[in-house]
Structure 1
Amino acid sequence: MKNNPVVWFEIYVENMERARAFYEATLDVTLEMMQPPTDEISKEANMEMWSFPGPKDNETAMITPGASGMLVKMEGFRPGAGGTLVYFGCEECGATAARAVKNGGRTVSEKMSIGEYGFIALVHDTEGNMIGLHSMQ
């Protein structure tokens, strides 16, 4: 196994426009539209995908810290709590959590210390997914 065992994540959404606006405004990033792997999957699953910024090829993604991922709208896959928890790195997680609330999210857990590993906050996005925010300050 390489240094980073997580190489990809997908956050399932019901309303792509709302979810995309939330993540772009909260994390101060621009998501990029991605083409589904095949036309059959796209038509069959009514699939729409928007990628977070990150390395563009698998070789780089395998050796670079962090993981790339995307928002996915696809029939049969629902958003919600209880699944995998994705943590997004940020400058100051309290400020990012406040932006999440300003953009339609909800606070689950205010900024808290995790000792020498920095700070975390937990929020729900506009689709009901819980996400983590991590910072060293």
Structure 2
Amino acid sequence: MKSNQSNPVVWFEIYVQDMERAKTFYEAVLAVKLEKMPAPTAECEDMEMWSFPSDKDTAQTTYGACGMLVKMAGVPSGCGGTLIYFACEDCAVQATRAAENGGSIFKEKFSIGEHGFIALAYDTEGNMIGFHSM
């Protein structure tokens, strides 16, 4: 089914309690440098935000972030019911880095058939995150 509509999912936020710990974790696991974001309004002055790298001019304006609804045994909906997947060359590498940098592996790399492989881990803040590779 082909559609002229763009993907409506364009943004995600991962909430943390210890920004320095979380920032260090994601920079090490994903081998990226996060960018400090200024408060968008005066009402948001108490927020601290660090952005994942992206091509702000093109990457999210036409395609968006891929997403879906998922029902999986052992993973509840509600608080904590959103799972973000990060693209990788080999998702086992990032899962191992997660464990080496203060997180833990929930599920080692496994096949999702023709769609590649995923691994699930917890970050230093207790958030479950996913890694995907072909």
In the superposition, the TM-score normalised over structure 1's length comes to 0.80
Deviations 1:32-85 (A, max 9, x none): 00011112321xxx210000001224x651214647xxxxxxxxxxxxx62310
Cα distance in 2, alignment partners of residues 35 and 29 from structure 1: 19
Structure 2 counterparts to residues 26-105 of structure 1, below 5 A: 26-42=29-45, 46-57=46-57, 60-64=59-63, 66=65, 82-105=80-103
3-state secondary structure, aligned to 1:5? coil
After superposition, the CA RMSD in angstroms is: 1.6
Q: Given that residues 106 and 121 in structure 2 are in contact (C-alpha distance below 8 angstroms), is that contact kept between their aligned partners in structure 1?
A: yes
Number of aligned pairs?
118
Cα distance in 2, alignment partners of residues 91 and 60 from structure 1: 19
What is residue 109 of structure 2 aligned with on the other side? 111
Which structure: greater strand fraction? 1
Cα distance in 2, alignment partners of residues 97 and 112 from structure 1: 12
Gaps of 5+ in 2: 67-78
Task: Among all aligned residue pairs of Structure 1 and Structure 2, give the percentage whose two residues are the same amino acid.
Answer: 61
3-state secondary structure, aligned to 1:10? coil
12, 16, 19: which one aligns with 1:9 = 12
Deviations 1:80-114 (A, max 9, x none): x6231000001100011000100001110000000
What is residue 25 of structure 1 aligned with on the other side? 28
How much has 1:6 moved relative to structure 2? Answer: 1.6
